Amino acid sequence: MKSCPYILTFICLALSSPDLLAQANYELSRQVIGSYGGSAPAGGSIGISFTAGEAVVNTLNAAPYALTQGFHQPKSGDPLRFDLELGFASCPSSSDGVASVVNIRGCAPPYLVSWSNGISGTENDRLTPGPHSVTVTAGPCMLTQEFEMEFDPEGNCILRFFNAFSPNGDGVNDRWEIENIDLSEFHDNEVEIFNRWGQSVWKGRNYDNESVVWDGSGPSGKVLPQGTYFYLANVAGRVHKGYIELTK
């Protein structure tokens, strides 16, 4: 639910006092107060009493000036809104679906955008087919939109080689996975990993992200030092090359 700040306005009826001249339009910052209100210094020798939303009229008369206290009223403003643009994932097992938050308006920027898969920012290009959500926040305002990512029924499933993983035993991203390598059309493959000096440190045939998958270990069976490694993958007669950052 959207919460709004409050403005407390004071009207000076006679401005012969320097203190009142300075406080002709005094704005009280948003704060939590008790059920019967509270008080705050307005500057100079003037103190301000206020309520939790109930109108109070309390006119101070002390020649040669007069001060009339006003009441709390909510600031007006447009509600937080945004539009969502969706693309397709390339196939049912891909994580290349794209969604973008556009035309954010209402409330006051800056706007913060977060997605249900952990990505931040107005664009997300790592969405799998299925249900997702996106949340936009702006100060006290927050709006969440749920949506369904679909896949292109006429699209071609493609391989996606991720360039980083962390085999530290925490159960998260411990293995180097190749997206869609487990599909039947990519079953005939051979993958080899090299260190920065061009030495082969791991090799596997029929890579499938499960029984045949690189877990960061080298020829000795121990996890290799963190750093940059390189892969050479021959999949269904096509060669793929790139690098991998191994972190711990």
pLDDT in tens, 210-244: 999 999 999 999 999 999 999 999 998 899 999 99
Last residue of a domain, one of 48, 74, 100: 74
Same domain, residue pair 145 and 167: no
Residues 71-89, mean pLDDT to the nearest whole number:
77
Same domain, residue pair 164 and 227: yes
d(CA 173, CA 164): 9
- Whether 80 and 136 have beta carbons less than 8 Å apart is answered as yes
- The encoded tokens of residue 23 equal 């406080």
Decide if pLDDT at 77 tops 70.
no
pLDDT in tens, 106-133: 998 999 999 999 999 999 999 999 999 9
Decide if pLDDT at 12 tops 80.
no
Q: What is the CATH number of the domain that holds 112?
A: 2.60.40
- The encoded tokens of residue 1 equal 């639910």
Same domain, residue pair 138 and 165: no
As beta bridge partners, residue 39 has 49
pLDDT at residue number 19: 43
Range picked from 52-66, 74-88, 157-171 for highest mean pLDDT:
157-171
68 within a domain of the structure (yes/no): yes
pLDDT at residue number 41: 65
Q: Which residues contact 221 (CB under 8 A, 6 or more apart)?
A: none
> β-strands 65-74, 59-62: how paired?
antiparallel
Residues 38-43, mean pLDDT to the nearest whole number:
62
Decide if pLDDT at 190 tops 60.
yes
Last residue of a domain, one of 42, 74, 106: 74
Q: Which domain holds residue 193?
A: 160-246
240 within a domain of the structure (yes/no): yes
Round to the nearest angstrom and report the end-to-end CA distance of the chain: 41
pLDDT at residue number 91: 87
154 within a domain of the structure (yes/no): no
Q: Which residues contact 165 (CB under 8 A, 6 or more apart)?
A: 173, 174, 175, 176, 177, 216, 244, 245, 246, 247
Total number of domains constituting the chain: 3
71-75, 125-129, 148-152, 239-243 — which is least confidently predicted? 71-75
Residues 61-81, mean pLDDT to the nearest whole number:
59
9-23, 35-49, 127-141 — which is least confidently predicted? 9-23
- The mean of the pLDDT values for the chain is 79
Name the residue type at position 43: G
pLDDT at residue number 63: 55
